[in-house]
Amino acid sequence: MTTPAPIGIFDSGYGGLTVFREIRAKLPQYDYIYLGDNARAPYGPRDFETIYHYTLECVQQLFDMGCQLVILACNTASAKALRTIQQQDLPRLAPHRRVLGVIRPTTEILGHYTKTRHVGVLATRGTVVSQSYVIEIQKFFPDIQVFQQACPMWVPLVENNEHEGPGADYFVEKYLQELMARSSDIDTIVLGCTHYPLLEKKIRQYLPEHVQLLSQGGIVSGSLIDYLNRHPEIDAVCAKGGQTQYFTTESPEDFDFKAAIFMGEKVRSKRVTVER
Ligand code: DGL
């Protein structure tokens, strides 16, 4: 019999906390382990092999901690590593455990939001180059045209706690102008990186009012509820004690300070080494 264990939530850094926050608000009864690979963030500019390798190490770390279900709360890892992990690594390493991402739940509901069928996706360079959003949206809603914009400066702004400063305005305006110049019919924009909700206030300032912004916290948490209902065998191996543990590959002091801003509460993390 498998011992019930926390649900693992992974991101390259702090971004996954925007998803975790909403998951925990909707499912407070579960135990969670959040792992941020802050020492190696950002993942966005890295190549496929590196992102896959880093993500797999973090997933294995969460497995070593007992997690039976791991959510990649990171679009870049979901785009570049999830499929290989699900198809090649899981059957070999842990056939009964599950790893889920954030792109599919986002793309499968998109068609309900856009009227013009012109959708913008703001994401890291890695996610944009992978074309994952374009491919997935095409599967569910072939009538939607997707306009992608890489925003390579946004994650560093968030990771360095500069997202509310005046420096952020320049890059927020620049990338949004570039995106909207491709189609003035865009009526819905996906924040396709879990770091970006921290910039939401500024993003709103530079967009026409009628454009809707979709962030993933609400979407992914709703989809997780649905998943656990549909998979009682996985739900049964998720511990329910309402406890959260945080781990980072960088300085715990730094993590605690910044994560507290995301979570709106005191955070106490531990350092972990994930390299194998
Ligand atoms: N938060 C991650 C995402 O959703 C990526 C950030 C990074 O570049 O490391 O894509």
Paired strand residues for 150: 123
Distance CA 155, CA 15 (A): 8
Please determine, looking at this structure, whether the domain spanning 104-216 carries the CATH number 3.40.640.10.
Answer: no
The conformational region for residue 165 under phi > 0 = left, psi -120 to 50 = alpha, else beta, is: beta
Assess whether the previous peptide bond of 42 is cis (omega < 30° from 0): yes
Distance CA 275, CA 19 (A): 25
Asked if the domains 7-101+218-271 and 104-216 are classified in one and the same CATH topology, the answer is yes
Spell out the per-residue pLDDT of the chain, length 276, in tens: 899 999 999 999 999 999 999 999 999 999 999 999 999 999 999 999 999 999 999 999 999 999 999 999 999 999 999 999 999 999 999 999 999 999 999 999 999 999 999 999 999 999 999 999 999 999 999 999 999 999 999 999 998 889 999 999 999 999 999 999 999 999 999 999 999 999 999 999 999 999 999 999 999 999 999 999 999 999 999 999 999 999 999 999 999 999 998 898 999 999 999 999
Query: Is-catalytic flag, 74?
Result: yes
Q: What is the pLDDT of residue 75?
A: 97
Pocket test for ligand 1, best of 14, 50, 124 (most atoms within 8 A of CB): 124
20: phi then psi, degrees, rounded to nearest 5:
-60, -45
- Where are the domains positioned within the chain? 7-101+218-271, 104-216
- Ligand 1 atom index nearest CA of 76: 10
Distance CA 97, CA 8 (A): 11
Distance CA 38, CA 252 (A): 10
Helix axes 216-230, 16-26, angle to 10 degrees: 50
Q: What is the pLDDT of residue 223?
A: 98
Count the residues in the chain: 276
Amino acid 72 reads L
Amino acid 181 reads A
Architecture of the domain defined by 7-101+218-271? 3-Layer(aba) Sandwich (3.40)
Ranges assigned E (strand) in 65-176: 69-72, 98-100, 118-123, 145-150
Query: Is-catalytic flag, 58?
Result: no
Span from the CA of 276 to the centroid of ligand 1 (angstroms): 22
Q: What is the pLDDT of residue 261?
A: 85
Ranges assigned E (strand) in the chain: 7-11, 32-36, 69-72, 98-100, 118-123, 145-150, 188-191, 212-214, 244-248, 269-271
Residue 242 DSSP class: -
Paired strand residues for 159: none
Distance CA 121, CA 76 (A): 13
Which residues form ligand 1's pocket by a CB distance below 6 Å? 11-13, 15, 41-44, 74-76, 124, 127, 155, 193-195
